[in-house]
Amino acid sequence: MVDQLLLKTFEEKNKLEIELSNLRRHVDHLHRDLVHLEKLFKSILIQSKKHMVRLVGGGFMSGRLEVKIDGEWGTVCDDYFGTDDANVVCKQLGYSSGVVRDQAYYGMGSLKILMDDVACLGSELAIQNCRYKREHDCSHSEDVGVICS
């Protein structure tokens, strides 16, 4: 009687261990899928951010900075615009770093001035994520330009 009970317990234990190992494998698969999805999501995010800035009127990797906010393109004022801000723009475009050109170096834009007093920390994935003012005290003679490298 006791032997039978022991055997049954033993069988139950084996069954549970098999279930547990199946479950572990399942979780491993889920984890791998999650990592994959995370990577995919990140690359989509980076791609979409890339299309929210452009450099106009310069060369291939330089020009007047134009940004998209709420579906609208516009220019950026040069007030307080520094290397950290240029770096964020260039990284957003897939380059490694940037240099600022102020006072409409690449010509005056004609779109709405959408950003003033931009203050990026440098770690933002997009300039739209940086601190800035929507209300500006600028004119297009202050349109900022960026040279990426």
**Region near Ca ion per CB under 5 A, out of 24-32, 35-43, 70-78, 85-93:** 70-78
Burial class (CB in 10 A: 0-12, 13-18, 19+), 115: buried
Q: Which is nearer to Ca ion, 31 or 134 (CB)?
A: 134
Check if the beta carbon of residue 91 is closer than 8 Å to that of residue 102.
no
The Cα 25–Cα 136 span in angstroms is: 57
Q: Is 140 in the site for Ca ion (CB under 5 A)?
A: no
Q: Does 142 bind Ca ion (CB under 5 A)?
A: yes
Chain positions 16 to 55 lying near Ca ion, rule: CB under 5 A, are none
Q: Does 143 bind Ca ion (CB under 5 A)?
A: no
Please state, in angstroms and as integers, the Cα–Cα distance from residue 111 to each residue in 77, 92, 133, 147, following that order. 12, 21, 17, 20
Among 79, 84, 108, 111, binds Ca ion (CB under 5 A): 79
**109-138 residues near Ca ion, rule: CB under 5 A:** 116-117, 137
